[in-house]
Amino acid sequence: MRRICAYIISVALFSGYIPVYGQDTDVPQDSVTIPLKVSFGIEASGPVIYFTDKNVLNTEAYLLYDFDNKKALHAAGGYSNYKYSQYNYSYRNKGIFFKAGVDFNILKPEISGGKYWAGIGLLYGISRFTWQVDSFSYENYWGKHTFSMPEQSDWGHYLEVSPGFRAELLKNLSIGWSVSLRKLLITSASKDLKPAYIPGYGSTGNSISFGMNYFLTFNFSYKKIRVGIKPEPAEEGGSGTGIIRSIR
Amino acid sequence: MRKSFLKIISAFLVIIPVFIFSCTPGSCYDETEARVKASMYQSATEKIVAPDSVSLFGLERDSAIYKKTSNITSMLFPLDPTTETCTFLVKINGESDTVTFSYSSYAHFISKECGYTYYFTIEQPVTTNNIIDKIVLTKKTIKTLNEENMRIYY
């Protein structure tokens, strides 16, 4: 799993070259204009998955508020309705979750230009949910018996680290994706009846929950700021301030 | 813009198979039944010694859990979660005793792949003393772990 995550992050960060924003000439500039934005969006993969698997519905909407060109407030909430059954048990879970934290942009201002974001989000999440086991079968020497557990309410707290990438595709519209790594901190459920699934967190089977998110984001600029550019040392045969630069 | 857009789309396409792979359900490889694990101790030496033969039946049950089995130093007693007591007929080297367990049971979630099972909390087992000298309870919580719960001295 670690290799998969490393691979995805590598793809994100080295997916290519991005045009410099706000440079109309080859003349070196000492600052760029960055629009600070309020953005809201939705996580797109949840509804798509629901079309193929009616047992899993995850919806999530979020709000981003740029503090500056590097940091943004990230607040999100969502609803989940999850059903799972296999040969020996049938499980249902539904509930809501909220999470909030900060997104850090690691791109240089002259690269991001307010249009691109590559970085990491650090979020704290709270989930409130109900779950029940419609049936589970237990078979041993004494025979086969079927049991059930009534609906019960629980909550869970978790931390989320989500490296990702967003790019402005059209004016005011961005798309992006992130990898989510979540660590369950505490849950009100007893240790013997840990829920199989927690809304916003995911499956509880492993110590770290892994997820992929695809975003559609609508952006609205509320302010523009000038951000200084660190001069790069001149390279032989190049100005060092060309139109195309790699993400490093 | 066009070039970077294509790069982003490419990155999406690379990731989607990984995403699908990560959603593939797994199989259950864990132990799913909690049984009382009893080690066989020889009273004279107070050491673990395998009896010549061991048979184990649920009381008034025809099917055997062990039938004249040799070379075992521990026995596993399955408990019934629908009741609060279980009695077994134990035959060690041809001599019979009964062992009765009183317990409470509670459901336990193993994993998404394996589902649920029952754990038990047992009290001191009661035994007759034809071949069994005594039973010492060492761990009263019965889980799916491979750990000793009691010692049978014979």
What are the CA-CA distances from residue A202 to residues A42, A210, A228 (Å)?
Answer: 18, 8, 41
Interface of A to B at Cβ within 8 Å reads: 4, 7-8, 11-12, 15-19, 45, 84, 86, 88-89, 133, 136, 138, 140-143, 145, 147, 149, 165, 167, 169, 175, 177, 192-197, 203-205, 210, 212, 214
What ipTM score was computed for the predicted complex, to two decimals?
0.81
User: What are the domain boundaries of chain A?
Assistant: 2-246
- With CA atoms as reference, report the closest residue to B98 among B59, B135, B69, B124: B59
Task: Give A6 or A77, the one with higher predicted confidence.
Answer: A77
Q: HEC profile for A105-141?
A: ECCCHHHHCCCEEEEEEEEEEEEEEEEEEEEEEEEEC
Q: How far apart are CA B79 and CA B103, in angstroms?
A: 9
Sorted by sequence, the CB contacts under 8 Å of residue A28 that are 6+ apart come out as A231, A239, A240, A241
The CATH number fitting domain A2-246, selected from 3.30.230, 2.40.160, 2.30.30, 3.30.300: 2.40.160
CA distance A98 to B56: 54
Q: How many of the other CB atoms lie within 10 Å of CB of A133?
A: 23
Where is average pLDDT lowest: A178-187, B5-14, B33-42, B99-108? Answer: B5-14
Three-state DSSP at A248 gives coil
pLDDT, tens digit, 9 for 90 and up, residues A12-46: 444 444 444 444 445 567 888 888 999 999 999 99
CB spacing of A205 vs B81 below 8 angstroms = no
Per-residue pLDDT tens over the stretch A72-105 = 999 999 999 999 998 889 999 999 999 999 999 9
Give the gyration radius of chain A's Cα atoms: 22
Report in angstroms the alpha-carbon separations of B27 from A87, A205, A219, B14, B30: 11, 12, 43, 26, 9
Q: Is B31 on the interface with A (CB under 8 A)?
A: no
User: What does the pLDDT read at residue A110?
Assistant: 82
Determine which of A48, A112, A138 to mutate to test the interface with B (most B C-beta atoms within 10 Å).
Answer: A138
Q: Do B7 and A16 touch (CB under 8 A)?
A: yes
Confidence of residue A129 (pLDDT cuts 50, 70, 90): very high
Of B22 and B50, the structure prediction assigns the larger pLDDT to B50
What's the pLDDT score for residue B4?
59
**C-alpha to C-alpha distance for B1 and B3, rounded to whole angstroms:** 5
Tokens 């062992």 correspond to B99
Contact indicator for A226, A31 with CB cutoff of 8 Å? yes
Cβ-based contacts of A192 with chain B (< 8 Å):
106-109, 119
Judged against a pLDDT cut of 70, whether residue A50 lies above it is answered with: yes
Look at strands A208-228 and A173-187 and give their pairing.
antiparallel
- Residue A216 tokens read as 């559609």
Alpha-carbon distance of A62 to A73, in angstroms, equals: 10
pLDDT at A57 over 50: yes
Contact A36, A65 (CB under 8 A): no
Q: Where are the domains of chain B?
A: 35-153
Per residue in B74-113, pLDDT (tens digit) is: 999 999 999 999 999 999 999 999 999 999 999 999 988 8
